[in-house]
Amino acid sequence: MLTEQEKQALIDLANEARRRAYAPYSNYQVGAALRTKSGRLYTGCNVENAAYPHSMCAERVAIYKAVSDGEREFDVIVVATPNGGSPCGGCRQVMAEFGLDTIVLMADGEGRLVQETTVGGLLPFAFTPERLK
């Protein structure tokens, strides 16, 4: 269970990451803050590219940073956008790879919590590693 203070600290961290976004094409800055079950924190921001398919979402940046450091179990991820938008389908699938019980907080650019759910809530009937067995 996350306290309100923990939620707000993570939201603030995601919004700080959002300010570093490279989004010259969409002008839609996104930041993410990920806390692993071991307590480590990772942030990410969206990085756009003139060849649009080569852009990368903030959520995936944070997750890939954590995985590259050996982390595989996540507690909570915050996604901060100007208007409290939700993760895209690709990010939902990447999040599902590491656990449907991960808490997902969606916040706006003013630091307000807009929605709280889990990865499983965002992606019901997810295709997970267990399906490959």
Q: Is residue 133 scored above 90 in pLDDT?
A: no
Mean pLDDT across the stretch 28-48?
A: 98
Give the containing element (helix H, strand E) for 61: helix 58-68
Beta bridge partners of 79: 32, 106
The CA distances from residue 87 to 1, 17, 110, 131, in Å, are 22, 16, 18, 23
For 74-110, write each residue's pLDDT tens digit: 999 999 999 999 999 999 999 999 999 999 999 999 9
> Is residue 83 one of the residues assigned to a domain?
yes
> Is residue 110 one of the residues assigned to a domain?
yes
Domain range enclosing 82: 4-120
> Is residue 127 one of the residues assigned to a domain?
no
Give which of 81, 79, 80 is closest to 102, Cα–Cα. Answer: 79
> Is residue 81 one of the residues assigned to a domain?
yes
Active site residues: 59
Q: For position 39, which CATH number holds?
A: 3.40.140.10
> Is residue 14 one of the residues assigned to a domain?
yes
Domain count, the chain: 1
The structure's pTM equals 0.95
